[in-house]
Amino acid sequence: MPFDIEYNADHHFVKVSATGEIDMKAIRDYYDRLEPVLAENRADRILVDGRGAEMRLSAQDVFGIPRLAVKARTMGAKKRALVTNPGISGPELFEIARNHEQQVRVFIDHDLAVDWLLSDG
């Protein structure tokens, strides 16, 4: 599995670690596995650490991901922070696409991502 999904009870968010190749099949699996974890823990914040992942997504795929999120009923998440390696352009497209629905930010620094995720703003 390219995604490890766990609930952080101390800070009340779901942490996702992504590794290996990520394509649309992996993204669909991610949403199928994420929804029950969010629902069970009533979590509304998600931290995705994608520094160990290789994105195999087209721009069209990235812009289609918000529809998958709606279909998977993960839209209850108010904030999503995505940590990625410097110089990756796909996550910025994700940030643009997702911000129509909720707060999404892309970071290269893990600690800054967590600070933003836990902030009230």
Provide the residue ranges of all domains of the chain, joining segments of one domain with +. 3-118
| CATH numeric code, 3-118 | 3.30.750.24
Diameter of the chain by CA atoms?
36
Calpha distance 50→11 (Å, rounded): 20
pTM reported for the whole predicted model: 0.82
Give me the tens of pLDDT residue by residue for the chain, a chain 121 residues long: 689 999 999 999 999 999 999 999 999 899 889 989 998 999 989 999 999 998 888 878 877 777 777 666 665 677 889 898 886 655 555 555 555 556 788 899 999 999 999 998 6
